[in-house]
Amino acid sequence: MNTSVRLSLSSLRTHKRRFAGTFFAVFLGVAFLAGTLVMGDTLRASFDSMFGEATSGTDAVVRSAEAITTPGEAQGVRRPVGTDLLRTIEQVPGVAAAVPNIQGAGQLVGADGKPVGGQGPPTLAGNWITDPQLNPYRLAEGRAPARSGEVVVNRGAAKKGGLTIGDTTTLRTPDPVEVTVVGLATFGGADGMAQVTFTGMTRSDAEKYLTARPGEAATIQVRADPGVSQSALVDRLTPVLPKGDEAITGQESAQENTDMVSSQFLTIFTTFLLVFSGVALLVATFSIHNTFAIIVAQRTRENALLRALGASRRQVTASTLVEASVVAVTASLAGLAGGIGIAAALQALFPAIGFPFPEGDLVIKTLSMVLPLVVGFVVCLGSALLPAVRAGRTAPLAALRETAVDAAGASRARAVTGTALAAVAVATALVGVLVAPSVWPAGIGALLALVAFVVLGPVASSAAVRVLGSPLGRLRGVTGSLARRNALRSPKRTAATASALMIGVAVVSLFTVFGASLKATMDQTVSRSFAGDVAVSTPSFGAGGSGLSPRLAPAVQRLPEVDTAVGLGRGVAEVDGKGRALTVTDPAALARTFDLGTVSGSLRDLGTDGIAITRKEADRMGLVPGDTARLTFTDARTQNFTVRAVYGRSELAGDYVITRAAWAPHRTQDSDTLVAVSFKDGVSADAGKAAVQKVADRYGSPQVQTREEYAQSSAGGIDMMLTLVYALLALAVLIALLGIANTLTLAVHERTRELGLLRAVGQTRPQLRAMVRWESVLVASFGTAGGLGLGAFLGWVLVKASDGARDSAFAFAIPPAQLVVVALVGLAAGALAGLRPARRAARLDVLRAIAAE
């Protein structure tokens, strides 16, 4: 073992408490990263197994060959296949059985009268397949439906809705259907497919309520005779299928389902968590760098003595890097164990909150172990690199001088460099905001702004601490003045300590501002575009729910209190070769209930061959009223539509509008997503709302909301997102707290003699504790103030840059109450971080402290 390694290990054994903060910073970052990767691997493996088991008896799937995918949707919409194909398929050699799989939207109403699911995951209904090998669901309790009105429900949905066998409830299809639960089912051994709900009906009921016309099914499931492979079965089926239909193997179908779940949920979820792992590790970088910088400054005389005794610069540098490597390896290994523990805890926690995290062993892949280990090692070693190089540059003559506090940082070169970076950052961000709205240049500008904040930190810290600490002298006397001077002593250290908290607060502030802006945008959109008095809507967050009955709007229209009631349905089609969502409605009533902006042409005469388009889409395709747009529907039929109107605003109405008569020949399961209602003059809001609610109760009891309530519920998912963001960012704030506490602890050790002298001249222990605590609060105040400013700026950049993806402007909003709470939490964090260092300082023995070198 060489000299550098022996010195490093000896130093670690002697001063192991100095590295406690670094250890925990690396540990927490690596544990969060490893836990995220293990959880993602386990979920993917679980869904692979779940879909594989559920479809193990299906050897081939017959379906429509083409799918229409609209922007923002991972899975396309396919036309149904005719069930008359069954006879042809059953005659193919090697086919043992074939059954239709009819599927549509169907939302159960629980025992408490509230809909089950619908806030994201799909709520499905379909025919209960009697062939147990072809049915992906397994009957766990009760029996299969035999008569009209009987259903089987997946056990997870039944538990969530408080339903048991024999209960009668309502199934929204979207028309309300009274059903009786006669059986409970599982999917792939679990109570359900994630939080997707499923209701199995008789085939006749499924055709009646879930399809536009009898004789249609989403797919046809096929089972092969023994000895016939899946690929061979597909090869035999393909020649007998009509044009436009295809056969795929059961394995391919299961893989598509797994990929769909992965793209729609797992990838987004794990990416979301990985971003916060990155934030936590970035915060840890500042804490680790600061720890090693202080330790190197404290060991100036020690390193100088080593140089005087013949140690080379390389040996001194290597000694510091060996210490960092030992801490990195031990903390990263502990973090891997902690990450597995986090994944195991989530495995136990998720079922309690309604998400069926898989039972059984966790799936731990090599990459999920190696990557966090490498990242933890690189982060720790990279953070210690500059302090190590600085240690190697210690001159031998420094052994003859007193150890000096590192007061560097607020140099003119740093000020010039930081100011230049800040100018470039602002200019780049403004290009992405004002000149050519785009997230990419805005994002680069935001990243440069973060770098500029870090570079300018030591320069700004002196002025900021003077301003923030100016009341302390008046409020706390000499103790407050000393705390202020201690924070001013090393601008670079103060800035580095505060930077960790600054990043955490900046990200919190960024999401807070962005969330408030989204809410303000929704309020603005509803206030500007929705001219009705009340709205009846389905859940706006996610893709769940069954929609509203198309018969609801005409029923509401017949009320004496109502002037106009218009339902907005949804269809899909390819418009000039591009998949697009269509709004299916009464265009004339739409214009009376929504503000569509300036309209060119007429919305009254669309008929069965006319279409209305937003100005943005019309300009993109070069269309004006009178031109022709070619639409291809999911049933593969193509029709030319005449553009009869171009309107200005699509915020609630969508980009393409056709009549119900035009959509009727191509529709599948028909439903509305929104019914907008305007009252007659003289009808009060309460009376009109009550009348509409009575009618809505006959159609599944959807909620009737005023414009203000509709805007708030539409933004309901934002609060849920922010709650998750705050919970995850608590990890970054915790690491920042550890950094502040570790810095102050090391600073107390560095100032041992000074603190002893203060005690000797009359400072009491409570005064000493207060001085250290207020120093911590000042550092946290600087970090919090910088984080609030940076976060608000980045929030503005993100909001404005997002305008390029919309046809209407985002409303930028600063939420003062929430940001005040963030500021108070930052200050409280500073006070909390100073408790342990303050107690340690107060316990110093006066005589030993004065005698300390």
pLDDT at 76 exceeding the cut of 60:
yes
For the question of whether the overall pTM of this predicted structure is more than 0.85, the answer is no
CA-based nearest residue to 768, from 834, 832, 830:
834
Side-chain-side CA neighbours of 792 within 13 Å: the count stands at 14
Report d(CA 108, CA 696) in Å as an integer. 16
The model's confidence at residue 336, banded by pLDDT at 50, 70 and 90, is very high
Q: Output 439 or 277, whichever has higher pLDDT.
A: 277
- The pair of structure tokens assigned to 79 is 């036309």
pLDDT at 430 exceeding the cut of 80:
yes
Per-residue model confidence (pLDDT) at position 407: 47
CB 567 within 8 A of CB 552: yes
pLDDT at 546 exceeding the cut of 80:
no
CA-based nearest residue to 210, from 112, 111, 128, 88:
128
Q: How far is CA 103 from the centre of its chain?
A: 29
Contacts 24+ apart (CB under 8 A), 252-257: 252/61, 253/55, 253/58, 253/61, 254/51, 254/52, 254/54, 254/55, 255/51, 257/51, 257/55
**pLDDT tens-digit profile of 515-539?**
888 888 888 888 778 888 999 987 6
Give the DSSP H/E element, type plus range, for residue 638.
Answer: strand 638-647
Which are the contacts of 632, defined by CB distance < 8 A and separation ≥ 6? 68, 573, 574, 577, 638
Count how many residues are written for the chain.
853
**pLDDT tens-digit profile of 374-410?**
999 998 888 888 888 887 777 776 555 554 444 455 5
Per-residue model confidence (pLDDT) at position 647: 93
pLDDT at 542 exceeding the cut of 50:
no
With tokens 């005698």, the residue in question is 851
**pLDDT tens-digit profile of 574-600?**
998 889 999 999 998 998 888 888 899
What ranges do the domains of the chain cover?
A: 59-250, 463-531+710-853, 550-698
Q: Output 800 or 724, whichever has higher pLDDT.
A: 800
**pLDDT tens-digit profile of 143-177?**
999 999 999 999 989 998 999 999 999 999 988 99
Per-residue model confidence (pLDDT) at position 356: 54
CA angle 366, 261, 201 (to 5 degrees): 140
Give the DSSP H/E element, type plus range, for residue 346.
Answer: helix 313-349
The model's confidence at residue 230, banded by pLDDT at 50, 70 and 90, is very high
* 139: alpha, beta or left? (left if phi > 0; alpha if psi -120 to 50): beta
CA-based nearest residue to 363, from 44, 54, 53:
44
Secondary structure string (H, E, C) spanning 413-448: HHHHHHHHHHHHHHHHHHHHHHHCCCHHHHHHHHHH
Report d(CA 206, CA 131) in Å as an integer. 16
**pLDDT tens-digit profile of 668-687?**
888 898 999 999 999 998 99
Per-residue model confidence (pLDDT) at position 405: 47
Three-state DSSP state, 632: strand
Which are the contacts of 780, defined by CB distance < 8 A and separation ≥ 6? 498, 501, 740, 826, 827, 829, 830, 831, 833
Per-residue model confidence (pLDDT) at position 404: 47
Per-residue model confidence (pLDDT) at position 641: 95
Among the listed ranges 21-30, 562-571, 676-685, 738-747, which one has the minimum average pLDDT value? 738-747
Among the listed ranges 76-90, 395-409, 431-445, 611-625, which one has the minimum average pLDDT value? 395-409
Among the listed ranges 135-144, 170-179, 272-281, 561-570, which one has the minimum average pLDDT value? 272-281
The model's confidence at residue 796, banded by pLDDT at 50, 70 and 90, is confident
Averaged pLDDT for residues 442-465: 82
Contacts 24+ apart (CB under 8 A), 479-485: 479/763, 479/767, 479/770, 479/771, 479/774, 480/774, 482/758, 482/771, 483/770, 483/771, 483/772, 483/773, 483/774, 483/775, 483/778, 484/774, 484/778
Averaged pLDDT for residues 77-95: 92
pLDDT at 198 exceeding the cut of 50:
yes
Q: Output 441 or 300, whichever has higher pLDDT.
A: 441
pLDDT at 617 exceeding the cut of 70:
yes
Report d(CA 674, CA 585) in Å as an integer. 10
pLDDT at 217 exceeding the cut of 80:
yes
In single-letter form, the type of residue at position 74 comes to: A
Report d(CA 824, CA 572) in Å as an integer. 49
pLDDT at 767 exceeding the cut of 90:
no
CB 101 within 8 A of CB 219: yes
Per-residue model confidence (pLDDT) at position 120: 58
| H helix count then E strand count, the chain | 26, 26
pLDDT at 11 exceeding the cut of 70:
no
Among the listed ranges 146-160, 203-217, 765-779, which one has the minimum average pLDDT value? 765-779
Question: How high does pLDDT run on average in the chain?
Answer: 83
Three-state DSSP state, 16: helix
Q: What percent of the chain has pLDDT over 70?
A: 90
**pLDDT tens-digit profile of 466-480?**
888 888 877 788 888
CA 30, 35, 38, 44 torsion-angle sign: negative
Per-residue model confidence (pLDDT) at position 121: 67
Per-residue model confidence (pLDDT) at position 822: 87
**pLDDT tens-digit profile of 626-650?**
999 999 998 888 999 999 999 987 7
Per-residue model confidence (pLDDT) at position 74: 60
**pLDDT tens-digit profile of 231-290?**
999 999 999 999 889 999 999 988 888 777 666 677 777 887 788 888 888 888 877 887
Report d(CA 205, CA 202) in Å as an integer. 5
Q: How far is CA 233 from the centre of its chain?
A: 42
Q: What percent of the chain has pLDDT over 90?
A: 28
Q: Output 828 or 611, whichever has higher pLDDT.
A: 611
